[in-house]
Amino acid sequence: MTASEAKALEAKEKQEMSTDVEQTRPGATFTPAVDIFETDTGITLLADMPGVKVKDLDIDLQKSVLTIKGDVDSPEGPNETYVLREYSTGAYVRQFALSDAIDQSKIDAELKDGVLTLVMPKAEKAVPRKIAVKTG
Amino acid sequence: MAIMRPFWPTRDSSVHGELDRMRRDMDRLFGGLSGRSLREPMAGVFPLTNVTEDTNNYYVRAELPGIKGDDLDISVTGEGLSISGERRIPEGKKDASYHRREREAGKFSRMLSFPGQVDTGKVEASCADGILTVVLPKAEAAKPRQISVKAV
């Protein structure tokens, strides 16, 4: 089986989300693609949010629900007309239920090149501890 | 000559109902395609780009999260812009277990052509917050020229 190292990327349409709660400003809202992985020490979330600057990013944590929200300014100038339009610009919103194992006071967030990295360490008591089993 | 009667039952509702439904289905299928071709494609080449213009320039924008200027290879000829590169996603830690994996990595390459000539010497590209913006000034011949109408 021949598997090339780096396959060609395919374009995916941006996932538009419909929410129960309406946004106060008009415009589409999209769901960012995320990778979430867990190690013994914590959970890391990476979200693709191109066009979001740090000042427009809002991370909210209430009752163990994590909400990521990023506003995106429309980059087109006022005199520009479209020749080709393949994607729309809009805010990114996504919500997750966090387990109680996360130490919510130690969550670290970094936004770089349109990728948000959230590192959420597990609370001390939730770190798995290996228990040596004695044979006797 | 005797008028031929159709073989199938002449309950018009059944035959025409069938044809009507098929016509509606085809309309919906093709209407959906032609409607969308003006807006967004169903399966496109990565990256999805928006091209706009004003009197002096063309602007090409693409969403490329996680990609820095060094990962991109952009070249331009008289009427075409080529964008290629590779999106890399750093390896997760060894003992990590993934809850979700929605982001993809890989190579991409795309050619865009423009309705008019561009001035290849003055093209500028910048990448900020995962958005690539390429500004291509139009060649003088391609800029619209107002023609005044003389009253005779």
At CB < 8 A and 24+ separation, what contacts does B37-45 make?
B39/A85, B40/A13, B40/A85, B40/A86, B40/A87, B40/A88, B41/A11, B41/A86, B42/A13, B43/A10, B43/A11, B44/A11, B44/A13, B44/A86, B45/A10, B45/A11, B45/B108, B45/B110
pLDDT in tens, A59-105: 888 778 889 999 888 888 888 999 888 888 889 999 998 877 788 78
- Cα separation, B152 vs B145, whole angstroms: 21
State the 10-residue block means of pLDDT for chain B, 152 residues long. 53 65 72 44 70 91 89 83 88 80 88 86 90 90 82 85
The pLDDT, as a whole number, for residue B13 is 55
Nearest-CA distance from B58 to chain A in Å?
A: 9
Q: Which candidate in B55, B98, B102, B109 is best for mutational testing of the A interface (most A CBs within 10 A)?
A: B102
**CB-CB neighbors (< 8 A) of B41 in chain A:** 11, 86
Q: What's the token pair of residue B45? A: 């080449």
Scan residues 109-128 of A and list those with Cβ closer than 8 Å to B. Answer: 113-115
- What domain count does chain A have? 1
Q: Are A29 and A93 in contact (CB under 8 A)?
A: yes
Q: What angle do CA B92, B94, B95 make, to 5 degrees?
A: 110
B85: domain CATH number is 2.60.40.790
Res. A115: pLDDT tops 90:
yes
Residue A11: inside a domain, yes or no? no
Q: Establish if A3 touches chain B: CB-CB under 8 angstroms.
A: no
Residue positions counted in chain A: 136
Inter-chain contacts counted by CB atoms under 8 A, chains A and B: 154
Neighbouring CB atoms inside 10 A of A109's CB total: 14
More confident residue, A7 or B51: B51
Q: Residue B28: its pLDDT value, please?
A: 66
Which CATH number characterizes residue A98's domain? 2.60.40.790
pLDDT of res. A19: 64
Domain annotation covers residue A88: yes
Q: Is A39 on the interface with B (CB under 8 A)?
A: yes
Separation between Cα atoms, residue B8 and residue B6, nearest integer Å:
6
Domain that holds residue B137: 49-89+106-142
As a whole-number percent, the residues of chain A with pLDDT over 90 amount to 25
Quote the domain boundaries for residue A41. 28-74+83-123
Q: Report the DSSP pairing between strands A34-38 and A42-48.
A: antiparallel
Secondary structure (DSSP) of A101-117? TB-GGG-EEEEETTEEE
In a domain, B96, yes or no: no
Report B:62-121 residues touching A (Cβ under 8 A).
63-68, 86-87, 89, 92-93, 95-109, 112, 114-115
C-alpha span between B148 and B26 (Å, rounded): 49
* Residue B95 counted as domain residue: no
Report if residue A60 sits inside a domain: yes
Alpha carbon of B65: minimum distance to chain A alpha carbons (Å) = 5
Of A8, A50, A86, the CB nearest to B131: A50
Inspect the interface and report whether the beta carbons of A39 and B93 lie closer than 8 Å: yes
In-domain check, residue A22: no
Q: Tokens 């690539």 identify what position?
A: B132
3-state SS string for chain B: CCCCCCCCCCCHHHHHHHHHHHHHHHHHHHHHHHHHHCCCCCCCECCCEEEEECCCEEEEEEECCCCCHHHEEEEECCCEEEEEEEECCCCCCCCCEEEEECCCCEEEEEEEECCCCECHHHCEEEEECCEEEEEEEECHHHCCCCCCCCCC
Residue B117 lies in a domain: yes
Q: Which of A5, A12, A35, A112 to mutate to test the interface with B (most CBs of B within 10 A)?
A: A35
Is B76 domain-assigned? Answer: yes
The answer to whether residue A47 scores a pLDDT higher than 90 is yes
In a domain, A91, yes or no: yes
| Best residue of A87, A115, A116 to probe chain B, by most B CBs closer than 10 Å | A87
Total domains, chain B:
1
Q: Does residue A8 form part of some domain? A: no
